[in-house]
Amino acid sequence: MAETILQLTGVKTHFPITSGFLLRRHVGTVKAVDGVTLAVGQGEVLGLVGESGCGKSTLARTIMQLVPTTAGTVVLHGRNLANCSAADLLGARRDMQMVFQDPYASLNPRMTVFATLAEPLLVHGVCPPGEVNARVAELMRTVGLAPRFMQKYPHEFSGGQRQRIAIARALALQPKVIIADEPVSALDVSIQAQILNLLAQLCRRMNLSLIFIAHDLSVVKHISDRVAVMYLGKIVELGPARAVIEHPRHPYTRALVSAIPTPNPDVERSRQRIVLPGDPPSPINPPAGCAFHPRCPHAREICKAAIPPLALFEPGRDVACVRAEEIAEL
Amino acid sequence: MLSSSPTVPAAAVLEPIEKGNSLWHDAWLRLRKNRLAVFGMWALAIITVACLFGPLVMHYGYEDQNLDLGASPPSAAHWLGTDTLGRDLLVRLFYGGRVSLAVGLSATLVALSIGVVYGAIAGFFGGKLDAVMMRTVDIMYSLPFPIFVILLMVFFGRNIILLFVAIGAVEWLTMARIVRGQVQSIKKMEFIEAARSLGLGRRRIIFRHILPNVLGPIIVYTTLTIPGVMLLEAFLSFLGLGVQPPMSSWGVLIKDGAEKMEEFPWLLIFPGTIFSLTLFSLNFLGDGLRDALDVRSSKD
């Protein structure tokens, strides 16, 4: 793997639940992200998958420092961002940007494309004011939009075009890492591939690192070098995209992979779906031991005893399951 | 730093740049199709111009009495008749309109500036600050307005400036609540997170990203506040707490007219009609603006 650019160590993001007026009582904690350790290399595309509510988006917002980090470190380019000073953070923001899920909500409806793209350039003083116009035009071309649309407003574009504007905005500061939080799930299927290809192509061309969040493994497989699977605030499996999807080791990943439909009807007919019973447990009060054990078809008494750490399974491959090797032989 | 959208020098882009239609432009197109709102705009424009420039071309002053004439019905010399002191009603309507419109506008402006800033701060920062600020508003809401004004008048004497302040000080409460609610909902939107990701300052986020998006409801509420404020002024003048003679306001004229409506009905009919027309126009315009600016009805 190339040089590590972003290193998360034991990152926890907990939200207190309080009740009462003024004198707030602490009544519980949502452990949205609960101890994530992860490294992203320069130019690497890391896919982050998991079901709704597993903490993917919170992890993205924690990395971006949009929500305060409860514990752990987020080291970008040798600088720890977790609860660092505002000035340091401002500098770090040039290296790290985010593309949001809903292109209908992530662009200010009152600002033209030009104003949206020029704002970061001006605020960070990326280029002299005289060159802003040329730079905006260049950004628009980079994402496949004609610069003649720069005085138009977001509502005059389609969803895919808006997402291109959002990508251009993320690129404006020439970051090294981009976090894309389900960037295609709000788009038509026909447009999804275009945006995915655009992202993949930009990463290759600019040697960008990309954390690509999705709840759909087939989308992730298409674009990622490595895949991390999240369940209830923790990473349960991490490894090369092909290996994880073709030979999933964690029971949860197995269930996810089994849910990918195949376009070949013969294969599709014989596909064995692993249907997980029940709902994901509450992150306020997670089950003892392995958080997945109440739904796991392979659970034993040992699973309730302790939280399994994300351990090396084979080179480049981490799995958080005490029975991973036994299950692999089944 | 808070520069508005920078203009584009044409040189750098070869293709002609297509002009976009802002949401404001779309809203204007929708508003223009609303007949009642357009009627309201014209009526308000005519009434305002008349009140501003009418007295300049009239032969009478608002306090010029003609006791020999007394109350006279509309005639060639006095188009809307005269009151019991022989004062020309049309001139007094113009002057009264100036006062009523000025009270309406300035008290609304007071309400607007306090309410928007207060509500935006409470909504943006949230938490305990918000709780304290909004409970303060709740407490002030519960004070009975007439007693508040009467107390002010007793302590500081009758003063038209004070009237603005008193009305503005009451009207901003609702504005603060509206703005706070709007800011709270806008602040959770992804484009605000995007702005924070870009490292924009709080001031810039509030003034460039949040407030332009809550301007719609603010404008609508403002146009609906003006008639409310004018009614309050009329109400206070009716109680004898507002504008003092010989100065007039529409409230004063209506009060005088109401006292003599059996003998001299025109003294009530004309001020009443003009006042109602103004209030209707403002409400029509406000409703029209609400429909035109409503995000749900705009194309997405």
pLDDT at B65: 67
pLDDT over 60 (residue B225): yes
pLDDT over 80 (residue B158): no
Do the chains contact at B194 and A152, CB–CB below 8 Å? Answer: no
Q: Which residues of chain A are within 8 Å of residue B199 when distances are taken between CB atoms?
A: 89-90, 93-94, 120, 123-124
pLDDT averaged over 10-residue windows placed end to end, chain A, 330 residues: 84 84 74 89 91 88 90 88 83 90 88 91 87 92 91 89 94 92 87 90 91 85 90 91 89 87 79 80 84 86 86 87 80
Q: How far apart are CA B241 and CA B209, in angstroms?
A: 43
pLDDT over 80 (residue B178): yes
Q: Which residues of chain B are within 8 Å of residue A104 when distances are taken between CB atoms?
A: 300
pLDDT at B282: 87
What is the CATH number that goes with domain A4-95+175-329? 3.40.50.300
Is some CB atom of chain A closer than 8 A to the CB atom of B151? Answer: no
| Strand, coil or helix: B109 | helix
Q: Read out DSSP for A212-258? A: EEES-HHHHHHH-SEEEEEETTEEEEEEEHHHHHHS--SHHHHHHHH
Tell me the backbone φ, ψ of residue A211, rounded to 5 degrees: -105, 115
Q: What structural domains does chain B harbor?
A: 22-49+100-246+275-297 (1.10.3720.10)
Q: Is the dihedral of CA A122, A125, A129, A130 positive or negative?
A: negative
Residue in A closest to B201 by C-alpha: A123
Is some CB atom of chain A closer than 8 A to the CB atom of B194? Answer: yes
More confident: A213 or B248: A213
Residue A140 φ/ψ region, left for φ over 0, alpha for ψ in the -120 to 50 degree band, beta for the rest: alpha
Q: Kindly report, residue by residue over B103-123, the tens digit of the pLDDT.
A: 888 888 888 889 999 999 999
pLDDT at A23: 67
DSSP H helices in B76-159: 89-125, 127-141, 145-156
Domain ranges of chain A: 4-95+175-329
Task: Please name which of B222, B121, B220, B198 lies closest in space to residue A111, comparing C-alpha atoms.
Answer: B198
Tell me the backbone φ, ψ of residue A98, rounded to 5 degrees: -130, 145
| Strand partners for A45 | A210
Q: Kindly report, residue by residue over B28-54, the tens digit of the pLDDT.
A: 888 888 888 888 889 888 888 888 887
pLDDT at A17: 84
Is some CB atom of chain A closer than 8 A to the CB atom of B190? Answer: yes
pLDDT at B279: 87
pLDDT over 50 (residue B300): no
Residue B9 structure tokens: 């020098």
Q: Which residues of chain A are within 8 Å of residue B13 when distances are taken between CB atoms?
A: 133, 137, 147-148, 150
Is some CB atom of chain A closer than 8 A to the CB atom of B198? Answer: yes
Q: Kindly report, residue by residue over B195-209, the tens digit of the pLDDT.
A: 999 988 888 898 888
Residue B151 structure tokens: 């107390």
pLDDT over 60 (residue B63): yes
By Cβ distance, the residue of B16, B193, B201 closest to A100 is B193
Spatial contact of A32 and A58, defined as CB atoms under 8 Å apart: yes
Mean predicted lDDT score pLDDT of chain B: 79
Q: How far apart are CA A261 and CA A219, in angstroms?
A: 12
Return the amino acid letter for B153.
M
